[in-house]
Chains A and B, each alone.
Chain A
């Protein structure tokens, strides 16, 4: 029962840290850069 309560919290903290690390490494502008362009080959055209 204790693990049931603690594990989700540990996972949430771990993945929040990952997300923050990604933001600090400058990944947000990379996502934006890819998402604002039409990637023709990505949608099967070209």
Chain B
């Protein structure tokens, strides 16, 4: 099995390592929950052992007004700083190697059936989700007491519905009496994305994930970067055909959509046109697995 798949499996298991939840009927409440995971993993998931960075940022934004009035200067710097450190090191690599929801999307795409590409224009929508649902709305729209809401978690996040909403309803049946339009809307969003995952690769990552949008902003300036050698590139487009994010590597080597799965480097390119560098220093020539013949 591919080494990346092992990373995804282990990261998913470690992110959700609280396996006593069927006995306790509750979340993990230990000190690890103060640490934000580098990937999208709902912290209301009964098995989650870490915090979701997106949920944490929204909470900080939602309580920022009242906090400032009370003398608490909590801007979410701890979480934003952590994401920035990760992003400036490896860019969007956690999406490709560590994210449980990204892993799920890759597995679902293996279901046979007609497959469709996602328009590159749609991939910019995730930046709107990031700005609007993570920062602006939680801070701007407040109740009488001055508190905002976690807009993305509450109205959009299909990962939260799948990892937390549905499991909690199964674990605590009494919660079913609280179900309303909000939950069914979120369930519909989840179903739409699950269906989309069958026919398109990583639709949530490409169109809607605010965390991917944050990491993607670092792709061009991160310590770890992919490089393209135009002299060796034959324009065969094998990298584009294999890319789970639909990135045309030969046009934009470090696109905000690239999740650094390295499939192009390790498998697709047969001409050594793709390599990587760390801190601007090239790390040698690419040695592809040569698993398939070159596409001319």
Chain A positions within 8 Å of B, measured between CB atoms, are 1-2, 4-5, 7-9, 11-12, 14-23, 25-32, 34-46
A27–B179 touching, CB < 8 Å: no
The DSSP consensus for interface residues of chain A is helix
B34–A32 touching, CB < 8 Å: yes
Within 8 Å CB of B114, what residues of A?
Answer: none
Instruction: A16-B85, A39-B150 are known; give 19 further A-B pairs, CB within 8 A.
Output: A1-B280, A5-B280, A16-B81, A18-B77, A19-B85, A21-B81, A22-B74, A22-B78, A23-B78, A25-B73, A26-B74, A27-B79, A29-B34, A35-B33, A36-B27, A39-B55, A43-B164, A45-B168, A46-B175
A34–B89 touching, CB < 8 Å: no
Within 8 Å CB of A25, what residues of B?
Answer: 73-75, 77-78
Stretch of B93-101, B153-161, B233-241 that contacts chain A: B153-161
Rank and list the top 5 A-B pairs by shortest CB-CB distance, nearest first: A19-B81, A15-B84, A22-B78, A22-B77, A18-B81
Within 8 Å CB of A21, what residues of B?
Answer: 77, 81
* Interface residue? B288 (CB, 8 A): no
Within 8 Å CB of B103, what residues of A?
Answer: none
B82–A11 touching, CB < 8 Å: no
B183–A39 touching, CB < 8 Å: no
* Interface residue? B31 (CB, 8 A): yes
- Can you list 29 contacts pairing A with B, beta carbon distance less than 8 Å? A4-B225, A4-B279, A4-B280, A8-B279, A22-B79, A27-B60, A27-B78, A28-B78, A30-B60, A31-B36, A31-B59, A32-B51, A34-B43, A34-B51, A34-B56, A35-B33, A35-B56, A37-B27, A38-B44, A38-B164, A42-B150, A43-B153, A43-B161, A44-B183, A45-B169, A45-B175, A45-B182, A46-B178, A46-B180
Q: Please report the C-alpha to C-alpha distance between residue A37 and residue B225 in the assembled complex, in whole angstroms.
A: 38
Greatest chain B CB density within 10 A among A11, A39, A45 is at A45
A38–B27 touching, CB < 8 Å: yes
Q: Which residue in chain B gives the minimum CB-CB distance to A19?
A: B81
| Interface members, chain B 219-256 (any A CB < 8 Å) | 221-223, 225
* Interface residue? B29 (CB, 8 A): yes
Question: Measured between C-beta atoms, what is the minimum distance from A46 to chain B in Å?
Answer: 4
Q: Which residue in chain A gives the minimum CB-CB distance to B35?
A: A31
Q: Please report the C-alpha to C-alpha distance between residue A14 and residue B85 in the assembled complex, in whole angstroms.
A: 8
Within 8 Å CB of A32, what residues of B?
Answer: 31, 33-34, 51
Q: Given A19-B77, A42-B160, does the pair A14, B31 have CB atoms closer than 8 Å? A: no
